[in-house]
Structure 1
Amino acid sequence: MSRFDTAKGGINKESSERRLSPHHFYHQQAALTAIQATVDFFYHPDTGLYNLIGEQTFRKLLNLDVGTSLAFVIDTTGSMSEEIEAVKEAAIDITNTNRETCFAVSNYVVVPFNDPAFGPAFVTTDPEECIQYISGLTAVDGGDCPELANSGLELGIQNSVDGSIVYLFTDADDKDKDKLPNVEALIAEKGLIRVDFVLTEGCTSRRRKRASSTPYLSYFTIARKSGGNIYFTDDDGIRDLTRVIQGNIRASQVTILKLSLNSTTPVEIPVDTTIPEFLVSIFGPLDDAVVNITNSQGIEGSPSDLNAEIFTSSAQQIVFSFNTSLQRSKGNWNLKLQNVNPASEYKVTVSARSLLGFTFDLLEVDQSGTAYPLEGLPVVGAQLSLQIRISGQDLIRSIGEVRFHDTTGRETLFTGVVEPLAGRIQGLYVANVTLPNKAFFVSLVGVDNKGASFLRTDPTEVQVIDFKLEKVIGNNTIDEVYQGSEGRLTFRVTNKGPADTMDISVSIGTNRGAVEINVPIERVLNATVEPLTMELASGQTQEGVVIVRADDNATIGITVKVTLSVSGSLSPAVNILSADVTVVETPIIIPEVIDLTSPTCTVLATGGGCTADHMTNDCRLHEWWVRIQATDETSLIEVRPDPQVGLSQSLKYEESSLRVTAIYKAPCCCPKVNITVRDENGNTASCGEDFYTPVAGKIKEPICNGPVENAPSGLGVGGIVGIVAGSLVSILILVIIVKFFMTRERKQEGK
């Protein structure tokens, strides 16, 4: 009960130096105790924070996910037997390249996927451990061609830090297309996660004739939504493409433009003074097509004619780069495709090495002017605030405008003015924008510090939708679910477009925590949604609820992602909300025990004393004391004397816990005290001492800590002393007067 005692100081656990630690001889014991207490607080198997709240919440709480990850998701089925060694070599080369740069990642993630199994995720901060794990991978089993690529990718993204790049190597299409919404939700949640696919086609090409749908459609969707790339090659070409990836790792990569072509219209590529190299990727039916380049000096020819470095060239893709470090290479280049099939699309991406880039966020602004992040996909026609963050602010002279392009890159949907945010750090800009009625890319144009025009495009596709999906504030109990109980998430759908029927579904993602479980997630956690459909007129709103229930035996500490998907019948776009759900230990409810037992207050001893004489004018010269003891079975929270302690009294605690011993001292001006003790439930007891009551009527009770009054009758010692002193003074004055007159008479007789 430290409230009864003055602090005496502690033990310095930082040093055993005698001059710094008065209790230096206890340093080792105190330091080890503190360390163990910290470990127990976080990781004790029964009471540790890690097990109680789950890994994902634990990592967020302590901000452990900093930096970026380098993630590899690798197909290890038997059909990859010809490519697996090249894939392993490429992954190891990429890891070695990353560790040598100033942009080295904070952790490495490797996820193998097979069929019917995938994972587990291997996560390490040591590049040597990553290389050793990759070296041990083999290609076996798998059965049919389509594989569990999305399941592996989902696990890889889950274990990667926001802003990372994930590389997926496979020769097969995805079997688990039902996992696509989970992957899309993770990409949207993580922000700036980019997925690059390296496809060797070996398995899928052998079965393509039997396929009824377009191969790799899920991969194209993921790459488009994450701003990633797709590379087609063979086992020899993997090594060449590794050089592209290594180049991207060694230097900051930005996207100049991204578009789809179906004609021979030239494409202008502005090469500003911050670009020492740019890379071109063209995907499409290239059997008869001719790629023609015109450089900034007007020289025209094929990539090979102009000394491009070619990384891969096949009937469906070509990837090449140009060195533009020399000043004469700066300026506008042109790309032109000849002999193309007008019925086909040719996807062109131009990226570059440059420190000048940008990122953006779309924000909603409420009536008070406060901006906050969007939930779900943005709605067609919404008026939003576009916040832009420039990297390499010192490399630009001015920013001209922001542009929204359709996904072909050929149509400009919106143009807006960009202004710097006043009073904020450099590199932050804002534009008021109106969203178009179709998906778009965001581009930024301006002038660099050498006067050259620059163009940058964010490669991530922004989807828009006709209905708004949002969480209902204050109705979310889904974050933590107890064993055998359920959590709820209330959501709201508002239709901003024409009347439509919304289909609603919910899914549970792969186990995200470090706690491994040996049964399917669906057997320990079950998610349902109500309703399953909504028929909404234009402008109509309806609410629904997601219910997640944990099995009685659900493993404590596992964290999964629950994804709510809502789609309309008029558009293929899917709006998504997601939430992390952690199974936590059911709290032990201890029934409340009402304490009706009063504490005790006992006088142990008294000393001194007060008589009637002591309580008069000289009351301050006499002191008395009483020692009391108070006890309680649970807790004592108050010891209160009456009258309260003033300047002339004291209350000193000699012992304190569930038993309190104290001594009260006072002069006879305060001849009595009543001490009340109280426990935390309000039960009280009292004890004390009283010297006045036995003499009541003989003297007036003194006013404790107040003026001292004379007694109404009788003479105390003080009174007698006063009278004697007064008489002596009077006699002295009389003697002086008599002597004065005698001296005066003598002087007169002498005259």
Structure 2
Amino acid sequence: MTSMLGTALLGLALLAGPTVAFLPIGGGTSTHVSITGTALLQKVTETCRAVAEAAGHEFNPMGSSPEELVQACLGPTATGEVSGANFHSALQEIYTQNGLLDRDFSNSAPYHFNSETFLEGRWLITEGMVAIKANIRGENFRVARETLGRVLHTLQDFYSHSNWVELGHTEPYNNLIRLDLPLENLADVNTATCSDCASGICPNPILPNILQEKKLTSGYMGIISSAKPKGKCSHGGAADLTVTTVPRGGINKDERRPDNMALHNAAVNAATAASLQLLEDIRLAAGDSDFLRMMGIARSSVLCFVIDTTGSMSDDINEARAVVNKIIDTKKGTQDEPSEYILVPFNDPSFGPMIRTTDPEKMKKEISKLKAKGGGDTPEMCLSGLQLALTGAPASSHIYVFTDAPAKDIALKDTILALISSTKSTVLFFLTEAGRRRRRSVRAASFEDYKDLALASGGQAIQVSKRQLPEATDIILDTSTSALVTVLQQAGNPGKEETFSFVLDESLHNVTIYVTGPSITFTLTNPAGVSQTNTEANGKLGTIKTVGNLRRMYLNADKQTGTWQINIKSNEPYTLKVTGQSTITFIYNFVERFEGPHPGYAVLSGHPHTGQPVTMMLSVIGRKGPSSVTVGKVSLVSVSGPDAMSNSTMTDMGNGDILVTADVVPKGEFLVILEGTDKVSNSEFQRQSTTQMSVSKVNFQVEVDNRVEPGRAFRFPFSVMTQGSGGQYFISARNDRNFPMSYPTSLTLTTGQYTNATLTITSPADTPSGTDVTLTLEAKSSNGVDTNYVILRMSVVTKITDFVQPLCEVVSVLADDCPKDVSQCGPFQWELSANLTDGNGTGIESISLRQGNGTLSHTSLSAPIIQANYNASCCSQIVEFVALDKVGNVGKCYHSIVRSGGPPALILSLPLWLCLLLSAFLERP
């Protein structure tokens, strides 16, 4: 199968629709991405419906777009604006990793089930499922999504690259996701499997005896060599060198051609069904709530605080506590209620631990424990605490830092900048001067470093007195909200008068203008020519509040669409930001094209490369899906000026995805700005990114599987190249778990040539399974001018030997009192009793009701045999409950008392899709 990041959302409108092709870039409408998208949306829809029914409210999406699905999924609490951006981002992360298997492991047979590597391919799938479940348990959702993308690619390849559908199978091969079940009837290396096909396009070259004996085989793929065992099938295609070795031809069903149309369609359908089966297993292990959190579906963004707890911070801690309590109390039950709370304290020399919870009362309790103590008169470990927050919080989070001293760990500044760029998170600093000036660190850190970080992230560095802090923290209430978008962001030059224009559209509300910096005067003018200066606290256009170096202006509620202008004068550097609430937004990634058997686009972890066209993959999100907006222009704009890129082209990839290519970019730091038309209101809109980006002459190449075992050294190679001056480049690496690492601290680079090196990281033997590790690897020239970085996310997973599902044995069913006439069922009850065991496994961790409106109870989970008892009205005639063991294996009990003219249906520990199929069959009159 082929993959293409460029068609990342082609499957999104196909909640249950058919897919018709496995084609490379430019070749069709269905790829790994669309098969994955179809399966994900169908499973998310099923999960949302189950959550809605359990909560007692109706699940009724107004349309098929992801935005409308998210709105319906969140239910009655979604009273305000609900953005689908996080859901889109989660999908993109899965699609990206899915596609990267064709770049990083194109010549690895097990990742694609080539060359009859069935046992090895299945091991990759099952090991990946263990890692996904462990990461979800640890709330490390991004790593879980990345692993899911790769696992789905391998699973889907089985159906296209093997002869499974040629053997007449139409259903998924359940044994691929079950290590406790055997892979049977595999063709051995000495068994011929294909006939010669001189033309290369024979409809079915599988030998008749292989089909008759139901032998399982797959095509051999040779990217470097044409050799293959005698008589074996080839994969086929232009990149496969074995196609010229007899037997010639190929059996892959990646593309839909006239000669293989039926087989290709069967492979697509089987791959989609298999993806749904795997997703259902993960959903059952994770639970509906965490499954949706993994998919980026939650009420609002997280509330993340990083707080200095040294002796002079008592007032600041009290204010942070008050803000948290206010947000929790005022936003509870609304769309703006945070979906998660994160708290990272820091002191000197300690920082952390990171505390994260979805329980608002626990957050209140944790922040109430913070006390100001210690720290002396030295700067603190602020950036170490911020590093934990950036790696622990979801991408695009708002992180609020409270401190009154420069950073002691200023050496982390480049790492923080890399993490900000990678996560696209926004950092806001609340800076209060301590009563006594603290000594500067050796690196002479100052508040200016915080301003640099805030500017790079699109945040603010707000300097106030401790007495003024309560007024300044109102900005947290502004930004801890759903569907927050940026309309304009600029950094002004000191001593220069400038006028900035921005467009407000009909969908925007709660529009707020922030101007940060000392000694600033400004005049705001609306489309009708009405103006208001910064000296008018309550004017015709809005209300202005000034505290410290921050001026915050709330525009009046009546909507005024069109082009606005703000004229600013200042003798000091300043920042300007215009925000509002709207579901019209966009997400983007800088990408680079990769070649090979299945070409595609890979997301750049670091800066785009100097001297090459800059390419972005951009997804536009409208109020009713991508079809409800029209994109007019995408530009790169300088942070410090209005210069936009030139020689850019846009390619519409469909469903709101746009490939943007620019030959020239602004000098220095730049941002992305998008202009278009909202079809719902027929008004023009403008949106801007927040994270600064620049190009670099330094290139990284890293290919790494992200799974690490506790106690074992993990080695991965990397390569560095510069298009600038050769010479010595300094290498630095940091990880957020402080795991020991070894790597060369410098490399001598030759212009235009990659230099190879290796980094080794070792996780302690007692590292909990499911722990994620974020590693930042940087290269910098000796003069500090040229630099770039790469971010790697790894998962520490204990090797699992328990792959056996919990077993269910129904002991008794008492349903004789249930009347045959269902309309008379009200007064009557039925009961079921079952024994659950985990054999020699790790033990059952939880038992939960999946279907049925009755009451489920069970004896102690620590007992060798657990007795489960279910009681329900005769009106609720089906029950399914799920037993989950301690490593994520899922066992199911399903029972129906529906009268069908035969004995009651009894289905034990079967896959859900088969349970439903049998149930439907048994319930037929």
Range into which the TM-score falls when normalised by the shorter chain: 0.5 to 0.7
Letter in 1 for 2:621: S
Is the 1:241–1:311 Cα contact (8 Å) retained in structure 2?
no
Alignment of 1:375-386 (within 5 A): 375-386=605-616
User: SS of the counterpart of 2:691?
Assistant: strand
User: SS of the counterpart of 1:462?
Assistant: coil
User: SS of the counterpart of 2:315?
Assistant: coil
Letter in 1 for 2:658: Y
Other-structure match for 1:150: 383
Is the 2:709–2:763 Cα contact (8 Å) retained in structure 1?
yes
TM-superposition CA deviations, 1:181-214 (whole Å, max 9, x none): 443444445x34322222223368x459999856
Is the 2:387–2:416 Cα contact (8 Å) retained in structure 1?
yes
1:357 aligns with 2:570: no
In the TM superposition, what is the alpha-carbon distance from 1:468 to its structure 2 partner? Answer: 0.7
Q: Distance in 2 between matches of 1:579 and 1:431?
A: 25
> Structure 1's 71 and 573: CA in aligned 2 closer, same or farther, altered over 3 A?
farther
Other-structure match for 2:455: 224
Other-structure match for 2:696: 465
In the TM superposition, what is the alpha-carbon distance from 1:126 to its structure 2 partner? Answer: 0.9
In the TM superposition, what is the alpha-carbon distance from 1:527 to its structure 2 partner? Answer: 1.0
Alignment of 1:18-37 (within 5 A): none
Q: Distance in 1 between matches of 2:616 and 2:306?
A: 33
Q: Distance in 1 between matches of 2:133 and 2:547?
A: 54
In the TM superposition, what is the alpha-carbon distance from 1:143 to its structure 2 partner? Answer: 0.8
Is the 2:472–2:547 Cα contact (8 Å) retained in structure 1?
no
Q: After the TM superposition, which of the residue ranges 379-388 and 456-465 deviates more from structure 2? A: 379-388
Alignment of 1:709-748 (within 5 A): none
Is the 1:281–1:349 Cα contact (8 Å) retained in structure 2?
yes
Other-structure match for 1:176: 409
Flag the structure with higher strand content: 1
Is the 1:171–1:201 Cα contact (8 Å) retained in structure 2?
yes
1:296 aligns with 2:521: no
Other-structure match for 1:504: 731
Number of residue pairs aligned between Structure 1 and Structure 2: 512
Which has the greater radius of gyration? 1
Other-structure match for 1:202: 434
User: SS of the counterpart of 2:326?
Assistant: helix
In the TM superposition, what is the alpha-carbon distance from 1:332 to its structure 2 partner? Answer: 2.5
Other-structure match for 1:429: 658
Q: Distance in 1 between matches of 2:663 and 2:327?
A: 41
Q: Distance in 1 between matches of 2:332 and 2:424?
A: 21
TM-superposition CA deviations, 1:3-40 (whole Å, max 9, x none): xxxxxxxxxxxxxxxxxxxxxxxxxxxxxxxxxxxxxx
Q: Distance in 1 between matches of 2:677 and 2:138?
A: 49
> Structure 1's 573 and 217: CA in aligned 2 closer, same or farther, altered over 3 A?
farther
Is the 1:197–1:219 Cα contact (8 Å) retained in structure 2?
yes
In the TM superposition, what is the alpha-carbon distance from 1:460 to its structure 2 partner? Answer: 0.8
Letter in 2 for 1:81: S
> Structure 1's 415 and 439: CA in aligned 2 closer, same or farther, altered over 3 A?
farther
Other-structure match for 2:751: 538
> Structure 1's 130 and 144: CA in aligned 2 closer, same or farther, altered over 3 A?
same
The one of 552, 559, 570 aligned to 1:319: 552
1:439 aligns with 2:669: yes
Q: Distance in 1 between matches of 2:132 and 2:421?
A: 32
Q: Distance in 2 between matches of 1:348 and 1:207?
A: 30
In the TM superposition, what is the alpha-carbon distance from 1:70 to its structure 2 partner? Answer: 1.9
User: SS of the counterpart of 1:202?
Assistant: coil
Q: Distance in 1 between matches of 2:133 and 2:657?
A: 38
> Structure 1's 318 and 452: CA in aligned 2 closer, same or farther, altered over 3 A?
same
Other-structure match for 2:640: 408
Other-structure match for 1:310: 544
Alignment of 1:293-692 (within 5 A): 293-303=524-534, 304=536, 305-306=539-540, 308-314=542-548, 316-326=549-559, 329-338=560-569, 340-341=570-571, 344-367=572-595, 369-392=599-622, 394=624, 398-414=630-646, 416-422=648-654, 425=655, 427-434=656-663, 436=665, 438-449=668-679, 450-471=681-702, 473=703, 476=704, 479-481=707-709, 483=711, 485-509=712-736, 511=737, 521=738, 525-530=739-744, 532-549=745-762, 555=767, 557=769, 560-569=773-782, 571-572=784-785, 574-580=787-793
Letter in 2 for 1:446: G
User: SS of the counterpart of 1:83?
Assistant: helix
In the TM superposition, what is the alpha-carbon distance from 1:306 to its structure 2 partner? Answer: 3.5
Alignment of 1:113-152 (within 5 A): 113-152=346-385
Q: Distance in 2 between matches of 1:379 and 1:91?
A: 42
Letter in 2 for 1:201: E
User: SS of the counterpart of 1:420?
Assistant: strand
> Structure 1's 296 and 75: CA in aligned 2 closer, same or farther, altered over 3 A?
same
State the superposition RMSD in angstroms: 3.6
Unpaired segments ≥5 residues, structure 1? 1-40, 512-520, 589-751
Q: Distance in 2 between matches of 1:103 and 1:337?
A: 33
Letter in 2 for 1:429: I
> Structure 1's 454 and 54: CA in aligned 2 closer, same or farther, altered over 3 A?
closer
Letter in 2 for 1:298: G
Letter in 2 for 1:385: T
> Structure 1's 277 and 419: CA in aligned 2 closer, same or farther, altered over 3 A?
farther
Letter in 2 for 1:264: E
Letter in 2 for 1:374: L
Unpaired segments ≥5 residues, structure 2? 1-125, 148-281, 802-925
Other-structure match for 1:244: 475
> Structure 1's 246 and 559: CA in aligned 2 closer, same or farther, altered over 3 A?
closer
Alignment of 1:690-701 (within 5 A): none
> Structure 1's 133 and 398: CA in aligned 2 closer, same or farther, altered over 3 A?
same
User: SS of the counterpart of 1:269?
Assistant: strand
Return the TM-score normalized by structure 1. 0.61
User: SS of the counterpart of 2:646?
Assistant: strand
User: SS of the counterpart of 1:95?
Assistant: helix
Q: Distance in 2 between matches of 1:401 and 1:265?
A: 23
In the TM superposition, what is the alpha-carbon distance from 1:261 to its structure 2 partner? Answer: 2.4
Q: Distance in 2 between matches of 1:74 and 1:227?
A: 20
> Structure 1's 296 and 409: CA in aligned 2 closer, same or farther, altered over 3 A?
same
Other-structure match for 2:345: 112
Q: Distance in 1 between matches of 2:457 and 2:787?
A: 15
Q: Distance in 2 between matches of 1:460 and 1:203?
A: 34
Q: Distance in 1 between matches of 2:364 and 2:752?
A: 55
> Structure 1's 362 and 587: CA in aligned 2 closer, same or farther, altered over 3 A?
closer
TM-superposition CA deviations, 1:448-496 (whole Å, max 9, x none): 334543322101111211011121x4xx47842553x522110011222
In the TM superposition, what is the alpha-carbon distance from 1:176 to its structure 2 partner? Answer: 1.0
In the TM superposition, what is the alpha-carbon distance from 1:406 to its structure 2 partner? Answer: 1.6
> Structure 1's 175 and 155: CA in aligned 2 closer, same or farther, altered over 3 A?
same
> Structure 1's 275 and 507: CA in aligned 2 closer, same or farther, altered over 3 A?
closer
In the TM superposition, what is the alpha-carbon distance from 1:442 to its structure 2 partner? Answer: 0.6
User: SS of the counterpart of 1:412?
Assistant: coil
Q: Distance in 2 between matches of 1:212 and 1:176?
A: 9
Other-structure match for 2:446: 215
In the TM superposition, what is the alpha-carbon distance from 1:500 to its structure 2 partner? Answer: 4.4
Q: Distance in 2 between matches of 1:251 and 1:584?
A: 34
Q: Distance in 2 between matches of 1:578 and 1:260?
A: 27
In the TM superposition, what is the alpha-carbon distance from 1:501 to its structure 2 partner? Answer: 2.9
Letter in 1 for 2:341: Y
RCO higher in structure (CA 8 A, sep ≥6): 2
